Amino acid sequence: MFDDFFIRALVAGLGIAFVTGPLGCFVIWRRLSYFGDTLAHSALLGVTLAYTLEFNIALSVFIISSLIALILIQLQKRTNLPGDALLGLLAHSSLAVGLVVIGFLTFIRFDIMGLLFGDILAVTADDLLIIWIGGPLILLILKLIWKPLFASTVNYELAEAEGLNPDRAKAIFTILMAGIIAISIKMVGLLLITGMLIIPAAMARNISSSPQSMVIYSILGGLLSVILGLFTSLQFNTSSGPSIIAASLFLFILSLVKIKQSIKLKN
């Protein structure tokens, strides 16, 4: 009934949504939207390097994004610049360097739009494998560090005082962020990955009363966005990334209506 490429895109998208759901909650709770953006921008450099060296794209993006995260941590320690300036510096310079490198690679035909905004035609069977191995692995690690990560998100000193080692949890979380960007870049595109992390989680915040329920709603919102978005993408021949993000925005707006109702009920 559907073409193979569409089924592949659907399976890939759903696999990604399972991971962006819980990670996105932490992005919102820890105020890391721009951090995610910076890692995603640096992914372009990873992609171009992968093409140049004929290397696996996901792995290359993962390495470059982790590297940028490490550089950021070092810059934060060694300079007096505010965090947002450093994030902007790294995001735009790595994007620029990535684009400059592409300019040199005249022998390869690049689908820049696909890279920036995702392309459902681009998802291969190998990508599915990476998503469905990498995704559960990210979720498993997140589950293992949940306690210290969540506790230090609520209050760093409490977590530190009561022996939970929040610094280690934070470092691992950073690597997980690089991981999700690496596996979802083909699908959502590097300019929109942060949207996939934030918008379903923001929608979930509007309708949940506990951290666990927010994570569940965030996953459900992501899954629904992928399904709605991909069908739209198929129907109207739009890029997959923007279609998925637009669908999640639609869900977010619906969740605002829910808030309005519950406020009315209270009064």
Structure tokens that stand for 106 in this block: 């005249």
Instruction: Tell me if 147 contacts another protein by CB under 8 A.
Output: yes
Phi, psi at 210, each rounded to 5°? -140, 160
Number of residues that bind another protein (CB under 8 A): 25
Number of CB atoms found within 10 A of residue 143's CB: 10
Question: Exactly one of 154, 171, 253, 254 binds another protein (CB under 8 A); which one?
Answer: 154
Contacts of 94 (CB under 8 A, 6+ apart): 38, 41, 42, 44, 45, 64, 68
Residues 190-209 that bind another protein (CB under 8 A): 205, 208-209
Measured in whole angstroms, how far is the alpha carbon of residue 185 from the centre of its chain? 8
Decide if 16 contacts 181 (C-beta within 8 A): no
Q: How distant is the alpha carbon of residue 255 from its chain centre?
A: 21
Q: 9, 10, 12, 28: which one contacts another protein (CB under 8 A)?
A: 28
Q: Applying CB under 8 A, which of residues 153, 174, 243, 255 lies at the interface with another protein?
A: 153
One character per residue 56-95, x = contact with another protein (rule: CB under 8 A): ----------------------------------------
Stretch that binds another protein, among 39-47, 82-90, 148-156, 243-251 (CB under 8 A): 148-156
Rule CB under 8 A: which residues touch another protein? 28-29, 31, 147, 150-151, 153-155, 157-164, 205, 208-214
